[in-house]
Amino acid sequence: MLLFNIHSHPLRFVDALFTATSAVCVTGLVVVDTGKDLAPASQTVVLLLIQLGGIGVMTATTALSLLIRERIGLRQRMFLAGGFGMETPAGVVRFLRRILLLTFSVETVGALFLYAGFLRAGFSPLRSLYNAVFHSVSAFCNAGFSLFSDSLAGFSRNLLIPGTVMALIVVGGLGFMVLSELMMTVRRREKLSMLPRLVLFTTAGLLLFGLFSITLSEWNHAFAGMSGGWKIWNGLFASVTPRTAGFDTVPPATFSSAGIFLLILLMIVGASPGSTGGGFKTTTLAVLLVSTWNNLRKNPEINLWNRRISIRILQRTVTVVVLYLGTIGLGLGALALLEPFPFRSLLFETVSAMGTVGLSLGITAELSDAGKIVLMLLMFWGRVGIVTFLYGLLKPVPRGKVSYPDADIPIG
């Protein structure tokens, strides 16, 4: 706000804070046009914040400590292990190095493909390189920031650019634990463990569900005027981007009510644990579905692929869902009190902020300062994790010496 935009496009403090929050929370909601209203230096700041938010603040600070050859203490290793979803801090520094290598390798490969795509689209070599690097980092980190006012709508009939962006979104959304194990599995030719199998299976199911349902719902609506092949291609893109990425080749505001409902469902689920994306995560959905199926079959245990899911995991799953949906409800209620926009626009905006998605029906820049603050809080909670946030505030209940009898409460 102070150094780079004071002469060209002065930014209000709230708008600068909103942009910084959206970038570091890898959300992509914008109140100013990133490509037009921000100077190149400010765009670079946004890019650095996206990268910082994508790999995680703890990861970045620990990487800096490694660069200056500072010793990584046990406390910092335990924080890192918790952020990555690891049970113990053993091997966390090796895992960190693997994450950094993987991140920059994938982003570099993505930038090369995007560079070729922007060159073919008619941009100059220098501009193509700048666009490629920015969009590669933004896509892999599931941020959704674009240097184009219409996001990627200008490339709705292009294969290379949206295809590369989709690949980066999916890879970034799988999670570093899954990507790391996939690399080790390919190298050692070992069998995949439970986590990557569950994440890959759920991700594929969500992508197929989104592809077929969105393509059918928008065939004669948002995708009208396109040939059949391009309708399916843009339907695939629309099924990928709600997984917390925020890019669009067809504006969500042109979608039918059914299409908007489908986008909201996909935004709520989001990406996978330990990834650059948000949402209540694919594994949460998978555990809920598996638990429901086992309960309908009157199975006293929750079993999947010859493994038992513990009651502790189910309790955490229910906690995540209740707190996540409850926070969406509170945020939606606050926006409904503060803003005059239609309910579906406010619901879409709330879910997009909480899921760190970045898709919008076009009302973000028109929100009042109070409404922007509500979205900033939702983006922060969505990125940090509402459960993690509350864990830091609430004191754990000490383990008692008394075991109480079961209570039989009718449900459903």
Is the separation of the CB atoms in 327 and 287 below 8 Å? Answer: no
pLDDT, average across residues 89-100: 71
Which range, 229-233, 272-276, 320-324, has the best average confidence (pLDDT)?
229-233
The answer, yes or no, to whether residue 375 has pLDDT greater than 90, is: yes
The answer, yes or no, to whether residue 96 has pLDDT greater than 80, is: no
Separation between Cα atoms, residue 178 and residue 197, nearest integer Å: 9
Round the average pLDDT of the chain to a whole number and report it: 84
Six token digits for residue 215: 């393509």
C-alpha distance from residue 6 to each of 11, 33, 37 (Å)? 7, 16, 11
pLDDT given at position 92: 64
pLDDT given at position 63: 57
pLDDT given at position 260: 94
Is the separation of the CB atoms in 368 and 336 below 8 Å? Answer: no
Q: How many helices (H) and strands (E) in the chain?
A: 16, 2
pLDDT, average across residues 110-135: 94
pLDDT, average across residues 58-76: 58
pLDDT given at position 162: 94
The answer, yes or no, to whether residue 86 has pLDDT greater than 60, is: no
Per domain, the residue ranges of the chain are 13-391
